[in-house]
Chains A and B, each alone.
Chain A
Amino acid sequence: EAQVTQNPRYLITVTGKKLTVTCSQNMNHEYMSWYRQDPGLGLRQIYYSMNVEVTDKGDVPEGYKVSRKEKRNFPLILESPSPNQTSLYFCASFSISGATRAFFGQGTRLTVV
Chain B
Amino acid sequence: GQNIDQPTEMTATEGAIVQINCTYQTSGFNGLFWYQQHAGEAPTFLSYNVLDGLEEKGRFSSFLSRSKGYSYLLLKELQMKDSASYLCAVRVVTGANNLFFGTGTRLTVIP
Residues of chain A having any CB pair with chain B under 8 Å: 30-31, 33, 35, 40-45, 48, 50, 56, 58-59, 88, 90, 92, 94, 96, 99, 101-102, 104-107, 109
Contact = CB atoms under 8 A, between A and B. Distances in A.
Given A45-B1, A90-B42, A35 B96 contact: no
A56 B43 CA distance: 23
Contacts, number: 61
Interface string B43-54: 111001010000
Nearest to A107: B42
Chain B contact residues, majority secondary structure: strand
Interface residues of B, number: 24
B45 A101 contact: yes
Interface of B: 1, 8, 30-31, 33, 40-45, 48, 50, 87, 89, 96-104
Nearest to B46: A101
Given A50-B96, A107-B42, 8 more contacts: A33-B99, A35-B101, A42-B104, A43-B101, A44-B1, A50-B97, A90-B43, A99-B31
A99 B103 CA distance: 23
B76 to A, nearest CB: 22
A86 B107 CA distance: 25
Contacts of A50: 96-97
Most buried by A among B33, B98, B102: B98
